[in-house]
Amino acid sequence: MEIRIGIVNTGRELSFDTAASADEVRAQVAGALDQGATHLSLSDVKGNSYIVPTAHIAYVELGTEESRRVGFVA
């Protein structure tokens, strides 16, 4: 699933693919914001870790969990 995180005062967004489900990511983000955590930590399918300060999160966009189709569909 693709995740896009917008960061305040930054022209680019953080975009990566993760193996976690949309519900798991939604729970992590909501938990970090509700508990007043200073950082949100997520990881991608390649094993890279991303730490984002919660005070600077503008938005979090969760993509679909479907795999992309390649080729023509009859």
- Domain range annotation of the chain: 2-62
Q: What's the pTM value of the predicted model, to 2 decimals? A: 0.78
Task: Tell me how far apart the alpha carbons of residues 61 and 27 are, in angstroms, rounded to a whole number.
Answer: 13
Q: Is a pLDDT exceeding 90 seen at residue 69?
A: no
Percent of the chain with pLDDT over 70: 86
Q: Are 57 and 10 in contact (CB under 8 A)?
A: no
Q: The domain 2-62: what is its CATH number? A: 2.30.30
pLDDT, residue 64, reads: 73
Q: Are 49 and 41 in contact (CB under 8 A)?
A: yes
Judged by DSSP in three states, 46 sits in coil
Q: Is a pLDDT exceeding 90 seen at residue 5?
A: yes
In the chain, where do the E strands start and end?
Answer: 2-7, 13-17, 39-43, 49-53, 57-62
